[in-house]
Chains A and B, each alone.
Chain A
Amino acid sequence: DVKVTQSSRYLVKRTGEKVFLECVQDMDHENMFWYRQDPGLGLRLIYFSYDVKMKEKGDIPEGYSVSREKKERFSLILESASTNQTSMYLCASRSDRGPNQPQHFGDGTRLSIL
């Protein structure tokens, strides 16, 4: 079974702090994704990566950056946290072996910015 592990289930940070959310997958997947989930808005794509050191902006990249130094790890960085970044953050990975592979999600990190 694919395992996507997010380092924290709950995180509380202060406005202006630099925040790191970590995600690790164990299935050697090429593609990794970061989403945020907000009530009434579903999952919105922040960034994705299709290979080590490669990254692409999603639909809402403002205020975020990412890092993928190793294939299994994809980090989301909030450069200067703001209260409107309080949300549930979900990481996902996906194989490139065959078209239309589904994404596999971690259990999420609920981030509160005070």
Chain B
Amino acid sequence: DQQVKQNSPSLSVQEGRISILNCDYTNSMFDYFLWYKKYPAEGPTFLISISSIKDKNEDGRFTVFLNKSAKHLSLHIVPSQPGDSAVYFCAASEGAGGFKTIFGAGTRLFVKA
């Protein structure tokens, strides 16, 4: 049973528009959430994170929103660029140590020029 779900395997967006990637989780004990980005033939790289005490975190073109009551988070990319085309993994962990990070299955984003 997947505790972190990314229900959209892929998403296609026009360059310059907003990309919204969604993630749902089932474990209410998760208190830290991360997004990683993965290009083909490379390992995932950390993109942005959010603690459960916040509902929004912003870093340049990337914003993560957390809705704890709905157990839902989303990553917004504005404006989208062709270089953003990659697989995006949502991840969640519990506790300050957070050794067991649970990853979603990933969403492949295509940004069309």
Chain A residues close to B by CB (< 8 Å): 4, 9, 31, 35, 40-45, 48, 50, 56, 58-59, 90, 92, 99-100, 102-108
CB atoms of A31 and B32 under 8 A apart: no
B60 in the interface, Cβ–Cβ < 8 Å?
A: no
User: Closest CB of chain A to B27's CB: distance in Å?
Assistant: 13
CB atoms of B99 and A107 under 8 A apart: no
Q: Which residues of B contact A56 (CB under 8 A)?
A: 99
The listed residue (A35, A42, A50) touching B99 by CB distance below 8 A is: A50
CB atoms of B100 and A58 under 8 A apart: yes
- Contacting chain A: which of B13-21, B36-44, B61-69, B70-78? B36-44
The listed residue (B42, B96, B105) touching A42 by CB distance below 8 A is: B105
CB atoms of B32 and A100 under 8 A apart: yes
| Nearest-neighbor residue (CB-CB) of B43 within chain A | A105
Q: Which residues of A contact B44 (CB under 8 A)?
A: 43, 90, 105
Chain B residues close to A by CB (< 8 Å): 2, 4, 6, 9, 32, 34, 36, 41-46, 49, 51, 89, 91, 93, 96, 98-101, 103-106
Q: Which residues of A contact B96 (CB under 8 A)?
A: 99-100
Q: Which residues of B contact A31 (CB under 8 A)?
A: 99
CB atoms of B99 and A100 under 8 A apart: no
Query: Considering the chains assembled together, what is the distance between the CA atoms of A40 and B96 in angstroms?
Result: 28
CB atoms of A102 and B89 under 8 A apart: no
User: Closest CB of chain B to A90's CB: distance in Å?
Assistant: 6
The listed residue (A44, A100, A102, A104) touching B51 by CB distance below 8 A is: A100
| Nearest-neighbor residue (CB-CB) of B9 within chain A | A40
Q: Which residues of B contact A58 (CB under 8 A)?
A: 100
CB atoms of B41 and A107 under 8 A apart: yes
User: Closest CB of chain B to A39's CB: distance in Å?
Assistant: 8
